Amino acid sequence: MSKSYHIRNGTVVSVDEEIGVKYNCDVLVENGTITAVGNNLKVPNGIAEIDATDCIISPGFVDTHRHTWQTQLKNVTSDALLPEYFFNIRNIYGSCYNARDAYLGNLVGALESIDAGITFLIDHCHMINSPRHSDAVVEGLRDAQIRAVFCYGLYRNQKWTGVAEGTIQDETVPDWRLEDAKRVKDKYFPTNSPDTLLRFGFAPAEVERYSVDESIGQLEYGRKIGAALITGHISLGKMDRGVNFIRKLKQRKLLGPDLLFSHCASLHDDELDAVREYGVSLSVTPETEMQMAMGPPIVFRAADRKCNASLGCDVACNNPIDMFQQMRLMLQAQRNTDNVAVEGVPTTISRKCHEVLRLATMGGAECVGLKDVIGSITVGKRADLVLTKCTSMRLTPVHDPVRALVLYANASDVDTVLIDGLIVKQGGNLTGFDWPTLRKDLLESSKNIIDRSKAAPLDEIKHRILTEKSAWLGSNLSAIEKAKQGAVPTA
Ligand SMILES: [Zn+2]
């Protein structure tokens, strides 16, 4: 398949400081590499042309925090708080996926990302219920042809009375996932180098829920088997349990550029200093953090301190997989916070559109160790590119293409997407996939998961959470239930 294209006559928003924004500009891609950016490029004969008239050409979005498997659970937690999310998604629905569901979740989750202009994602996969599941989730990402780091998660979904056959395997000591992670690494990721589209990463079970020693043991195991990246949730704002994981890692001299932590709103200043000093990276997910009391999102504060900082969509069960939406929410929430903090009437706007666009592209590339490979339209980088069509009423006219991308465009405006020089979406349609057929499969899978979840013995699961898993989660759930009983119905 061809990976050489002459993309002609678009508005280039390069996110490269030297190139900036260029009008009536061409981008030349040869064998998947960007080889020239400029006006009226002379191109070698035989290179196929892509007409970018009325389009903004920008680097693909880099989503640095996602649980891709949750594709079938859309809207399930959109009115929920974090303890409710944990209880329902991580203890009930997560136990109801068979391997086929896991494959479809990751395949369609990756495809909907591409559809929305996301060309890279970190898949923090914490639904590995059996070795068949781990094969399935990797194959889902692979078949979608997205660029990604698959992070093998050690989280154990609950096996409760009545859970369907084939959806969850018995636990063993030591955890069978440890050996399975190594098998998956060897089978699918023999080189695991930065120039491969799909790389292997690792995700300890839930770093702030287990003891520090357990979490560190898991982290070191990930390093031992060759993970390109290790990811985990930490410092969850109002949900922070005072673990201060970054401090603990610093004390043991374990911080390094292979660590990518998500959320992080309640990091202390000394922890942010350590993050910068050791090249650790942060992923902020504005929508879930603001909804679920994990904020206020730290991304600008971290970027101001020269930390590697980026954005992610987190969970499709809560919000759409749309980085335009995350950029917009983050920018306006931060402006609001800053405006409120000023005494009297503000005299300068605190943050600009180009800052948040950088976080969603180049910032992400820096966070995942690919700053020389993706994240901007720069000669020598791989061609992960998005063409956003500006012919809709909403996008006519465009006086400033950066502001148009950040505050006006949405996923439905994405016309063409290239990943590694390969066209994966063109003319508004994904290439190589028949969505109506796939949609039928996904709807059936979704229905099966919901049907199986109805057998969940809620009291047994709650009891187990209280006694074995997390008294913290149990007490927060009880408080939410109490508040609901006392609430006046609104509908
Ligand atoms: Zn997460």
pLDDT digits (tens, 9 = 90+) for 208-219: 888 999 999 999
Lowest mean pLDDT, pick from 97-101, 411-415, 445-449, 462-466: 462-466
pLDDT at 56: 98
Backbone angles phi, psi at 384, to 5 degrees: -105, 95
User: How does pLDDT run across 120-172, given as a tens digit for each residue?
Assistant: 999 999 999 999 999 999 999 999 999 999 999 999 999 999 999 999 999 99
Quote the ligand 1 centre to 282 CA distance (angstroms).
Answer: 12
What's the fold here for domain 61-367?
TIM Barrel (3.20.20)
Angle, to 10 degrees, between the axis of helix 131-144 and the axis of helix 176-188? 30
Cis omega (within 30 of 0) for bond into 397 = yes
Kindly report the length of the chain. 491
Residue 491 pLDDT grade (very low, low, confident, very high; cuts 50, 70, 90): very low
Domain ranges of the chain: 5-59+377-430, 61-367
Residue 324 pLDDT grade (very low, low, confident, very high; cuts 50, 70, 90): very high
**Measured between alpha carbons, how far is 56 from 407 in angstroms, rounded to an integer?**
14
pLDDT at 469: 60
Residue 489 scores a pLDDT above 70: no
Quote the ligand 1 centre to 319 CA distance (angstroms).
Answer: 13
Quote the ligand 1 centre to 315 CA distance (angstroms).
Answer: 7
Quote the ligand 1 centre to 81 CA distance (angstroms).
Answer: 13
Residue 382 near residue 34, CB atoms below 8 Å: yes
Quote the ligand 1 centre to 239 CA distance (angstroms).
Answer: 13
Quote the ligand 1 centre to 262 CA distance (angstroms).
Answer: 7
Mean predicted confidence (pLDDT) in 285-296: 97
Quote the ligand 1 centre to 84 CA distance (angstroms).
Answer: 14
**Measured between alpha carbons, how far is 36 from 34 in angstroms, rounded to an integer?**
6
Residue 488 pLDDT grade (very low, low, confident, very high; cuts 50, 70, 90): low
Query: Which residues, in sequence order, are CB contacts of 118 under 8 Å at separation 6+?
Result: 60, 61, 62, 63, 146, 313, 321, 323
Mean predicted confidence (pLDDT) in 281-309: 97
Residue 276 scores a pLDDT above 80: yes
Residue 54 near residue 8, CB atoms below 8 Å: no
Residue 247 scores a pLDDT above 70: yes
Region 5-59+377-430: CATH code = 2.30.40.10
User: How does pLDDT run across 403-425, given as a tens digit for each residue?
Assistant: 999 999 999 999 999 999 999 99
